[in-house]
Amino acid sequence: MKALLAKLHLRDRHLSRALNIGTPYLWLGLFFLLPFAIVLHISLAETALAQPPYTSLWQWVDDGILQIRLNLPNFITVFSDDLYLAAFLNSLWVALVCTVACLLIGYPMAYAIATAPERHRIVLLMLIILPFWTSFLIRVYAWIGILGPSGLLNNFLMWLGAIDTPLTILHTQTAIYIGVVYSYLPFMILPLYANLTRLDFSLLEAAADLGCRPFKAFLKVTLPLSLPGIVAGSMLVFIPVVGEFVIPDLLGGPDSLMIGKILWTEFFSNKDWPLAAALAICLLGLLVVPFVLMQRLENRIGGDEL
């Protein structure tokens, strides 16, 4: 009887372990690998005037032979057309600038919240999270009323006498930067706050006792210990901004080249699903590189701390 119970207990443990390990892989397979396989299938097809607007990769011919046709010119077009290369480079540049801006603005805010009295932290965090209670699209539309020629910003500056004519901010690259930094700033602040709250501030007191000035103590103690939060926040900002579509479409001008807008145009205006899918595959491959580099940096930092 005891042997049977032990065997059942061991089987339950194996089943529980299999479920714990298999569930994430099942989730990954259903919601990443399967969609990726579908997009890859479309990217290797040819454009067709049909529904769906692309050809099948395989078909049966005479004598039961399966014929597979892979259309690689979609990828050749992506790498040879200056329009797509410029869109990729501009998207990376916008993402980099906005990530640095979010870091420069978000780090002091996260540090101020982490060092604030504990009874005030919940209120300060609520102020950071509060914009998420409003639709993302409505928040972006609000910036049209702020940055427009007769918007709040121009009216305020003219009321102060700082300018005589309205500034042209809306539908420019500057408007894209403002909209992206505003929208993604919480994604930088929250990981930094989570990291800074675990910081042992007695280390700063020890540095001060040893004669280290506050700014030098920040550079030598606080900044290195907060690098995991910086890496996590940068990943949460940089990666989605590269493929951002809504903000460049609403706040940017018609000549603002970002890969998200190009993807939308190819899918819905040009009906060229294979080329758009090839762009999406290349974008995914492009984002894997900074993700792996940041992940390695984060692992190295964690190893150094240990």
More confident site: 165 or 66: 165
Report how far residue 232's alpha carbon sits from residue 107's, in angstroms, rounded to the nearest whole number. 13
pLDDT, residue 105, reads 96
Residue 135's nearest CA partner among 177, 179, 181, 183 is 183
How large is the average pLDDT for residues 76-93? Answer: 92
Q: Is residue 173 part of a domain?
A: yes
Report how far residue 209's alpha carbon sits from residue 204's, in angstroms, rounded to the nearest whole number. 9
Which residues form the domain of 277? 81-305
Q: Is residue 61 part of a domain?
A: no
**Does the pLDDT value for residue 202 go beyond 50?**
yes
* Tally of domains in the chain: 1
Q: Is residue 21 part of a domain?
A: no
Q: Is residue 23 part of a domain?
A: no
Q: Is residue 4 part of a domain?
A: no
Q: What is the DSSP string of 203-253?
A: HHHHHHHTT--HHHHIIIIIHHHTHHHHHHHHHHHHHHHHT--HHHHHHS-
Q: Which of 1-15, 66-80, 218-232 has the lowest mean pLDDT?
A: 1-15
Reported pTM: 0.86
DSSP state letter for 33: I
- CATH number where 219 lies: 1.10.3720.10
Report how far residue 56's alpha carbon sits from residue 54's, in angstroms, rounded to the nearest whole number. 7
Burial class (CB in 10 A: 0-12, 13-18, 19+), 153: middle
DSSP state letter for 133: G
Q: Is residue 36 part of a domain?
A: no
Alpha helices in 29-163 (DSSP H): 34-43, 73-80, 82-115, 118-129, 136-147, 152-160
Q: Is residue 155 part of a domain?
A: yes
With contact defined as beta carbons under 8 Å apart, do 208 and 218 qualify? Answer: no
**Does the pLDDT value for residue 255 go beyond 80?**
no
Q: Is residue 13 part of a domain?
A: no
